[in-house]
Amino acid sequence: DIIKEQNRELRGTQRAISRDRAALEKQEKQLELEIKKMAKTGNKEACKVLAKQLVQLRKQKNRTYAVSSKVTSMSTQTKVMNSQMKMAGAMSATAKTMQAVNKKMDPQKTLQTMQNFQKENMKMEMTEEMINDTLDDIFDASDEEEESQDIVNQVLDEIGIEISDKMSKAPSAARGLPSASASTAATISDEEIERQLKALGVD
């Protein structure tokens, strides 16, 4: 990657500048000591020469700060460019993805699919409603039949006629079965039974 390589070079340059500055600062201190030493001995000419060297050295040190600042600026710009390139790459990939999706998603087909779904869903709801209505009718009819049978049994019980599986085998009331219900039934006519059934709403 070119940008990564450039960043490595800039970091290397920054370290080299820092080393040069440290060396210049060391020389600066030595020159200051020499100038003080020459001043104590009264050697003015030597002091002038060393003073000029010190001025040049300090100028060079100041240049290292300027160069270091420039390198830092370049490093920052490189990072910004790298970030912009990544964003551009991401946007490019996103644009390609959107193009691919738009090609596959035909608006007319999508609309037709939604309409078909709505139509089939309505059919399913209607079918479910019909099935539920049919089941309700079946169970309601079963309940009505059970209720009707209960009424019939109640009426027959009231007038003394007992319904059971053994009824067909049991002697009829006309044969003089010695039971309270049979005796009672023998005294009640068919017309009376039908009248009481009709009164209770049972045909």
Burial 131-167, CB ≥16 within 10 A → b, else e: eeeeeeeeeeeeeeeeeeeeeeeebbeeebbeeeeee
Low-confidence residues in the chain, pLDDT < 70: 1, 138-190, 199-203
Instruction: Domain ranges for the chain, please list them.
Output: 1-77+152-160
Average pLDDT value for the chain: 76
Which tens digits make up the pLDDT trace of 33-64? Answer: 888 888 888 888 888 888 898 899 999 999 99
The correct answer on CATH 1.10.287 for the domain covering 1-77+152-160 is yes
- Total residues belonging to the chain: 203
Question: How far, in Å, CA of 140 to CA of 146, rounded?
Answer: 10
pLDDT value at residue 45: 86
Q: Which of 119, 101, 123 is nearest to 111 (CA)?
A: 119
pLDDT value at residue 168: 46
The Cβ of residue 93 has, within 10 Å, a number of other Cβ atoms equal to 10
Percent of the chain with pLDDT over 90: 8
